[in-house]
Amino acid sequence: MTAAVLKTTAGLALAALLATATPQGLRAEDTIKIGILHSLSGTMAISETTLKDAVLMLIEEQNRKGGVLGKKLEAVVVDPASDWPLFAEKARELIEVEKVAAVFGCWTSVSRKSVLPVFEELNGLLFYPLQYEGEESQRNVFYTGAAPNQQAIPAVEYLMQEEGVERWVLAGTDYVYPRTTNKILETYLKSKGVAAEDIMISYTPFGHSDWQTIVADIKAFGSAGKKTAVVSTINGDANVPFYKELGNAGIKAEDIPVIAFSVGEEELAGLDTGPLVGHLAAWNYFQSVDTEENAAFVDTWRAFTGDGERVTNDPMEAHYLGFNMWVKAVEKAGSTDPDAVIDAIVGVTVPNLSGGYSAMMPNHHITKPVLIGEIQDDGQFETVWETPGLVVGDAWSDYLDGSKDLIADWRPPMACGNFNTATGKCGGSGS
Residue 430 has a pLDDT of 54
Check pLDDT > 60 for residue 97.
Answer: yes
Give the least confident one: 75-89, 111-125, 203-217, 231-245.
Answer: 231-245
Using 50, 70 and 90 to split pLDDT, how confident is the model at 429? Answer: low
Per-residue confidence (pLDDT) for residue 350, from 0 to 100: 98
What Cα–Cα distance (Å) separates residue 299 from each residue in 27, 35, 308?
32, 25, 8
End-to-end CA distance of the chain: 40
Dihedral sign of CA atoms 330, 332, 333, 334 in order: positive
The CA-atom distances, in angstroms, between 68 and each of 13, 318, 335 are 13, 20, 10
CA distance 120 to 17: 34
Q: State the pLDDT at residue 3.
A: 38
Which of helix, strand or coil describes residue 75? strand
For the chain, what percent of residues have pLDDT higher than 90? 84
Residue type, 17: L
pLDDT value for 267: 81
| pTM of the predicted model over 0.75 | yes
- The reported pLDDT for the residue numbered 273 is 86
Cα torsion 277, 282, 283, 284 to 10°: value is 120
**pLDDT tens digits along 14-45:** 333 333 333 334 455 789 999 999 999 998 89
Number of helices (H), then strands (E), in the chain: 12, 19
Q: What is the mean pLDDT of residues 408-418?
A: 96
| CB 255, CB 222: distance < 8 Å | yes
* Cα→Cα distances 352→40, 61, 316, 374, Å: 27, 16, 11, 21
Among 206, 151, 210, which residue's Cα sits nearest to residue 173? 206
CA distance 161 to 384: 13
CATH number for the domain formed by residue range(s) 3-146+290-368: 3.40.50.2300
pLDDT-based confidence at 236, cuts 50/70/90?
confident
Rounded distance, CA 375 to CA 267, Å?
A: 12
Burial of 186 (0-12, 13-18, 19+ CB in 10 A): middle
Residues sharing a CB contact under 8 Å with residue 208, sequence separation 6 or more, in sequence order: 173, 234, 238, 241, 242
pLDDT at 431 over 70: no
Mean pLDDT estimate for the chain: 91
Q: Which superfamily, per CATH, for 149-289+372-392? A: Response regulator (3.40.50.2300)
The confidence band for 272, taking pLDDT boundaries of 50, 70 and 90, is confident
pLDDT of residue 271: 76
Q: What is the mean pLDDT of residues 299-306?
A: 98
Secondary structure of 125-169 as H, E, C letters: CEEECCCCCCCCCCCCEEECCCCHHHCHHHHHHHHHHHCCCCEEE
Sign of torsion, CA 323 327 332 333? positive
Average pLDDT over residues 400-405: 91
Residue 47 has pLDDT above 90, yes or no: no
Kindly report the backbone phi and psi dihedral angles of residue 70, in degrees, each rounded to the nearest multiple of 5, phi listed first.
80, 5
Q: At 74, which helix (H) or strand (E)?
A: strand 72-78
Confidence category of residue 275, pLDDT binned at 50, 70, 90:
confident
**pLDDT, position 139:** 98
Question: Using one digit for the tens of pLDDT, what is the confidence trace for 164-175?
Answer: 999 999 999 999
**pLDDT, tens only, 313-335:** 999 999 999 999 999 999 999 99
Q: Where in the chain is the domain with CATH 3.40.50.2300?
A: 3-146+290-368, 149-289+372-392
Please give the average per-residue pLDDT across 258-269, as a whole number. Answer: 90
User: What pLDDT does 239 receive?
Assistant: 86
Output the CA–CA distances (angstroms, integers) from residue 381 to 129, 283, 374, in the order listed: 20, 10, 5
What is the rounded distance in angstroms from the CA atom of residue 124 to the CA atom of residue 268?
34
What's the mean pLDDT in 266-280? 85
Who contacts 197 (Cβ-Cβ below 8 Å, separation ≥6)? none
Please give the order of strands across the beta sheet that includes 167-173.
Answer: 199-204, 167-173, 228-233, 258-260, 280-283, 371-375, 381-386
